[in-house]
Amino acid sequence: MPEVPAAAPRPVWRWVAGSVAVLTTVVLAWAGAWAGLTWADLSPEEVEAWHGLLKPRAGLLLLFALLLPLLLWAVVRPWVAAWPRAVRRLSEEVAVVTAAHAGHRVRSQGAAELRELAQAIDGLAQAHATLCAQVDARVAEARAELGAETRRLAALMSELTMGVLVCNRDGRVLLYNARATALLVGKGEGDPDASGRARANEGTPLGLGRTVGSLLDAGAVDHAWQQILRRHEQGAEHAVAHFVTALRGTGAAACDLLRLQMVPTLDDAGVPGGYVLLIDDVTHSVQEHGRREALLQQLTEGTRAALGNLRAAVQALHQYPAMDTGRRAGLTAVVHDEAERLARQLDAALSEPTGQPMTTWPLEDVQVGDLAWALQRDLRAGPGAIECAYDQQGADRWLVVDSYAVVQLLAQAARRLHALLDARDLAIEVAGPATAPRLELVWHGRPLEPGTLEAWERTALPLAPASAPLTGSPRPGPSVRDVLDRHGAEWWTASRSASGTVSPSVSGRVPGHGLGDGLGDGLGDALDARHRLCVQFGDAPPRRRAPAAGSSPPARGRPIAYDFDLFHQAGQTARLDETPLAALAYTVFDTETTGLRPTEGDEIIAVGAVRIVNGRLLEGERFDRRVRPRRAVRASAEAIHGISTASLAGEPPLEQVLPSFARFCEETVLVAHNAAFDMRFLDLARDRTGAVFDHSVLDTMLLSAAVLPGHRSNEHHLEQIAARLGVPVTGRHEALGDALTTARVFLKLLPLLAERGIRTLGEARMASQGVAQAHETY
């Protein structure tokens, strides 16, 4: 990638101008004093002679006095300016030694005194380097011990059959195992559905610092997290959430179902600071369960007639033992034929597929109080908040449901009631027996029109919130009818008018939707009625019970094995410009192109990138792709990076590579060396590829000039910065190699920026903008 020179340091004109002013004053004062003393010693005749000599030349003398400062400026400026420039450079060299590269040695080009000072500083630097080496040795020893523990932990996690994700409270991934990658992305070995998942989540990597909502339904994860926080506030000792969700990006035709257990991680104060997600693929088991149910249903319906004939024949033979031989033979033939028929039907049912198996969605035990609280929270969220009262009646009852889907169903219904009917005094009530509670949305106002609920059943639930969109269209949720059938539930409306008349009617698959015949009580009573939307769930007994609040803790607690520093990283929710540089996630990238003129048709032919998270370079999370261009590579460009047109013949086009790169860069700050060049190519490809790179961008060339302004403009090339900071250069003019070098340089620049008071992204951008750089015309 070509580089333009960075800005030269600001001139020291104040220092030079002050020096010239002082020298001019001294010269003029000396000349004036000499002239005055000489004039006083002259005789009258000599005075008259000098007067006649100087008077015609007064203008020339005045011109000389005016030109004297300029002459002194030209003579003094190089000598005077060299001193502060040498001092500034010496200061910058010392900063590199103390903050970035202890092995760097100071080089002074100033006066003898400055060279002696530089030698003394080199002695201190040598002592500093010795101390740093001793500290590094101790750190390496500690890292070796920690590495042994880490390898034991990695070996343990690699043997787990469940996927493991450790996240902070904002859903940022802090740790994951190979099984989690196989389940969520489909790149693991031994995963029978890997290819399907790879297609569903192509370009959506699982990596440290990324949000779990990019792969799972963010709404379902947040719903479980809020449930945990609520149970913790209630004093529950073991606040654990279970839920099932489809893998994000999959559709109804190929639905990967994941059962997740969310376990909070507590800080020293006992407050949930993050969570662990244990992930298991239940797609096969759920489909097998559905297939068995379909098989049983087929066998039941297909054998009913044969069983009836067998029963009738056997009863006749039993009741009439003395019947004649012909009738007995006929009944015996019936028994034989029907038995053969049953055998054939059973063989056919077992050998032939049953068609699309019915998917039985796993359900979890939820208390009614938690469900009502989640519904209230959902209705208050976002614009147009709706208040929904709940008096805690029946809060301790249990339901076996998919709590997230039920909350979305009830919230959608409540919002529609509020919008269509201007429903007032909305409330949640619980009715029915304890084994099968019934949830009711109660309101005052107008009733629902007949057929309304039937129309609502065909609409989809918003299970992919707009607050966390994916690249592309979000996955549509199941329909209301699907959710009701999943729970064996039914819903209907009922009204109690001001006169006390009750008018119920069932919706869904039973005729008579809405209020049905109950509208005959009069419009006045209907407008003043108290209406109910009732949802009745099946009466399946709960399979487990979570410990009640205040109950005794489990006999054996989970040991604390590790302390993750990433739990405490800041800036996840603050404004980006106010976020400390050390707390941001970065994508450091570089491109190679067919030439240097993007507006004349030159294109990107290679993209390389790595990620920095929590101040650590993640070399394992990299992006390295080549691109088949629409034009030939220029000979001048090929001489630099060595990539020929022929070598790119089998590579994918830019329309495939850049969208994948955009997904790799999600939720990060972009970093590049001479970033204006690379960003220009990315910007010109926006209309062609649809990939938008509107991230904040930092340029290591400008940052180097900002922290080392005493260095000349030609001293901020990537190789020179790397040598100054002690960074090895590998793979020069290869996209990934340059990205790795730039990433290491950027990490070395961070402490130098901090020494100059540049600690946030906004301050870094302002410092970069303040550097006067040379512009290249594209």
**Catalytic machinery residues:** 733
Query: For residues 269 and 27, what is the distance between their CA atoms, to the nearest angstrom?
Result: 75
Q: Which of 769, 630, 587 is nearest to 209 (CA)?
A: 587
- Pairing relationship of beta strands 398-401 and 364-367 according to DSSP bridges: antiparallel
Determine the Cα–Cα distance for residues 438 and 536; give it in Å rounded to an integer. 5
3-state SS, residue 277: strand
Burial string for 586-599 (b: 16+ CB within 10 Å, else e) reads bbbbbbbbbbbebe
The DSSP call for residue 548 is P
Q: Which residues of 43-54 are buried (b: 16+ CB within 10 A; e: fewer)?
A: eeeeeeeeeeee
Q: At what angle do helices 718-725 and 700-707 cross, to 10 degrees?
A: 50
Alpha carbon distance 387, 263 (integer Å) = 30
Dist CA 163 CA 382 (whole Å): 33
Torsion on CA atoms 613, 616, 618, 624, rounded to nearest 10:
80
Whether the Cβ atoms of residue 745 and residue 693 lie closer than 8 Å to each other = no
Closest CA to 413 of 438, 382, 383, 388: 388
Distance CA 705, CA 5 (A): 10
DSSP per residue, 467-535: TSPPSSSPPP--BHHHHHHHTT-EEEEEEE-TT--EEEEE-TTSS--TTGGGGGG-HHHHHTEEEEEEE
Which residue(s) pair with 623 in the sheet? 609
Describe the chain by its helix, strand, coil percentages, rounded to 5. Answer: 50, 15, 35
Where are the extended beta strands (E) located within 616-700?
616-626, 669-672, 697-699
Measured CA to CA, the distance from residue 426 to residue 368 in angstroms comes to 17
